[in-house]
Chains A and B, each alone.
Chain A
């Protein structure tokens, strides 16, 4: 009889745990291929792209530094990574989002040379043992139906924009990504912070449309030679 009570207690506990897990909101399934919406497009509800990396509010020191930059050395012209801040605003951008079962969400870019692969870690905080990275260290969490991604540990190789604005190692991004209009679109909002390069945080918004097409093999050809 005592065994039966233990069994019953175990079952009740398991059921409570299961119910608690079920009551947690399930994150939306954002798996898929998406293509950026052009700046001219207005989505239902008046939603449209806004802001641009070119409009970042640079500090005086950053403006001075930018004058000395040769725009021919832009990583984008040489098939090098441009970093998430510029990449996600690029025209004709096409991405694939893969939530994996190992606690990550992977974002792949069709323009692989410039965008590469981003891995968003959903089950850990920022690591302190990582060196400066081209794509930074990204950790994510779900806030309702919004994926909030926090990225730091950037190196200083990528630029803020094609005009040559530079960022430092304190560069920090917060991205808020959510499906809208029944999952037909992704809304992408990114806020960049850099106390040295920017006078204040700057946010731009882009919309991506879910696509039924496959991601192609887009091999970068250098433009700057």
Chain B
């Protein structure tokens, strides 16, 4: 009798599971960049934290000259709450919402005004004749439990990192994304290459912890007028000079 009951139970459980179409890779959630102090005991480590140093060492001469002629403040669109691309945010600030749907995944960065939103399309290749955009065109495919994301089609208005390292529209980014530690952490291994701006590709790894807290509203704008006033008075001459150099 015991065996019969056990059989009924197992069959019921199997029937329930078969009808329960839960995706196996649901990474939905809010993630924030983890620091090495927290990661160390887990056997995890962010790789290549000083990205400015890494990138500057790889800049081609023209790119280095442009970087040196660029005013870090005056030419930083992110400082006036306008888009500044997606190269700087994930390895430095790194707070994002991960929202999968059937045919694409949406990454909403906490700094929504500047880093904005990325959509990673799962069922299509890159379109031909892409118009350059701040965040490029991202397509992804699964390689086992890893999502491999290929992004091209960037404009050349953003900077690779805080020292204002330039890049071109040829920039190509490949990311390998997966969750580790039973989904508690999100790992992204990123490779950035640009044959016109860099002498070789650079790579870095970051870990993001899944948060139980809600994503908070983060509107870049409260301080915008104050910044503009300061910008116009103090930095306009520098901006003009930087434009002439370009």
B102 cross-chain contacts in A, Cβ below 8 A: 31
- Are the CB atoms of A102 and B217 closer together than 8 Å? no
Kindly state the interface size class of chain A when it binds its partner: 35 or more
B6 cross-chain contacts in A, Cβ below 8 A: 7
- Give the distance to chain B from A59, nearest Cβ to Cβ, in Å: 27
A18 cross-chain contacts in B, Cβ below 8 A: 16
Partner of B83, one of A3, A80, A219: A219
With an 8 A cutoff between CB atoms, is A42 at the interface? no
Binds B, one of A111-119, A163-171, A189-197: A111-119
Complex Cα distance, B104 from A81, in Å, reads 26
- Give the distance to chain B from A58, nearest Cβ to Cβ, in Å: 25
- Find the A residue at minimum CB distance from B6: A7
A3 cross-chain contacts in B, Cβ below 8 A: 2, 5
Partner of B82, one of A1, A98, A219: A219
- Are the CB atoms of B9 and A11 closer together than 8 Å? yes
- Find the B residue at minimum CB distance from A113: B113
With an 8 A cutoff between CB atoms, is B174 at the interface? no
- Are the CB atoms of A112 and B116 closer together than 8 Å? yes
- Are the CB atoms of B28 and A219 closer together than 8 Å? no
With an 8 A cutoff between CB atoms, is A95 at the interface? no
B215 cross-chain contacts in A, Cβ below 8 A: 119
- Are the CB atoms of A78 and B224 closer together than 8 Å? yes
Within 8 A of B (CB), among A1-47: 1, 3-4, 7-8, 11, 14-15, 18, 31
A-B contact pairs, 12 of them (CB 8 A): A7-B8, A8-B5, A80-B221, A100-B28, A101-B26, A112-B116, A112-B117, A116-B219, A134-B219, A157-B222, A214-B121, A217-B83
